[in-house]
Amino acid sequence: MILFDSNLLVYAHARSSPWHEAAKQLRDQAAEGDLEACLSPQILCEFFAVTTNEKLFKPALTPEQASKEIRIYWEKSNFKKILPKESTIPRLLELAAQRNIQGQHIFDVFLVATMLDNGVHIVYTQNTKDFAVFKEIQAINPFTISVKA
């Protein structure tokens, strides 16, 4: 099982991105069930935050457009859904303390804690450095590996 980071979903929607085609292909494989992949609510919130922000995404989606995309991912695609569990916050706090996490990096820790509580150990992301301190998971940049045809 592979967690898709929000940047893959963003690139799949950003036609101007150099990673658009590769991200779209991966997203479509997962949505159709040809690639065992999952999403979390945090990922979908990050997708909304980026794609509706004119400074980060041009042309920005309207909140209605972003919501429609999120509903498709959550309700109609074959992406599995992983959710935080009762043990996720204690795990987050332990991981953060072990690694002296500060500031915005807590969101990466929350994602890792959610992954581990759901038995997911691989994340596809372009931001592999954000996850380098977590030996419990493997962060893979799918744009540096060949994509299945």
Which domains does the chain carry? Answer: 2-142 (3.40.50.1010)
Residue 147: per-residue pLDDT: 45
Residue type, 44: L
Query: pLDDT, tens digit, for every residue of 48-100?
Result: 999 999 999 999 999 999 999 999 999 999 999 999 999 999 999 999 999 99
**pTM of the complete model:** 0.91
Distances (CA, A) of 93 to 29, 45, 65, 96: 34, 21, 35, 5
Looking at residues 129-136, what average pLDDT do you find?
94
pLDDT at 145 over 80: no
Give me the sign of the Cα torsion angle 106, 40, 20, 35: positive
Pick from 116, 114, 121, 125: which is nearest to 26 by CA? 125
Residue 149: per-residue pLDDT: 40
CA distance 58 to 125: 21
What is the share, in percent, of the chain residues with pLDDT greater than 70? 97
